[in-house]
Structure 1
């Protein structure tokens, strides 16, 4: 049976200050992205996102809005990798500026596109910001890095 990995990511938007919370990741998928992580067995997608955001940022988020799904398929092994993407303007708590995942900081929405993103993160931004697409799909294998197609 092929391996299926479920993950999540959440854009936290501070509407009052027109800022977005980003994470400069140092472990895996290095570079700037939004906080998130793996869905645990028996955990809902939204609950996993709330948990991951809390662990990685110290913030408690609520009222998550879906921003679509990224679906990667390994055409050699059959492995499937999903990223369920969310956004919210509702958060509370005190920000952890540094964790073992990396550093967290607020950035002006207008400056977001100038950052050094984790590979492929820049092409996903429209899913979070403009809600232009609901799915990104790509296939990959050890000889061919994938390229996402959006729809």
Structure 2
């Protein structure tokens, strides 16, 4: 049976100003993404998302809306890597502009295309913004959308 890693990601959006919160990751999966991280043992997916967002942004989020799941399968290592994706416009707290994961900042939705995304992030944006697909599966490096 494959080893499985569970992770999360959440797009936080400001409806009034048409902005989203992004993170310029400097550790693994470098580049612009939405914040998120790993699910810890004994933790629910939603709880892990709320915790990771607090750690990486300083914000407390609620009313998470599921956007879909991304899965990578590595045949060579027999590993599956799942990302549970959410979005929310309900947040409070003081934004941390920098953590050891990278800089965190608001960007206007129309300016997103000008940023340097982490590999594969840009092709996932329709999942968050348009609900264009609910599952993405990486097969031989190509994203299949369902």
**TM-score with structure 1 length normalisation?**
0.94
RMSD of aligned alpha carbons: 0.9
- Mark the runs of 5 or more structure 1 residues left unpaired by the alignment: 141-145
Deviation at 1:114, TM superposition (A): 1.6
Q: Equivalent residue of 1:148, what SS? A: strand
Deviation at 1:2, TM superposition (A): 2.6
Aligned pairs, how many? 146
8 Å contact from structure 1 (residues 11, 87) kept in 2: yes
Deviation at 1:138, TM superposition (A): 1.3
**What is residue 77 of structure 1 aligned with on the other side?**
77
Q: Equivalent residue of 2:10, what SS? A: strand
**What is residue 121 of structure 1 aligned with on the other side?**
121
**TM-score with structure 2 length normalisation?**
0.97
Give the Cα–Cα distance (whole angstroms) in 2 for the partners of residues 74 and 31 of structure 1: 22
Q: Deviations over 1:9-59 (max 9, x none)?
A: 000000111110000000110000000000001100000000000000000
Deviation at 1:126, TM superposition (A): 0.3
Q: Equivalent residue of 2:42, what SS? A: coil
Q: Equivalent residue of 1:73, what SS? A: strand
8 Å contact from structure 1 (residues 75, 139) kept in 2: no
Deviation at 1:74, TM superposition (A): 1.2
**What is residue 143 of structure 1 aligned with on the other side?**
none
1:60-139 mapped onto 2 (5 Å cutoff): 60-139=60-139
Q: Deviations over 1:81-135 (max 9, x none)?
A: 0000000000000000000000000000111122110000000000000000000
Deviates more, 1:124-133 or 1:110-119: 110-119
Moved >4 Å (runs of 4+) = none
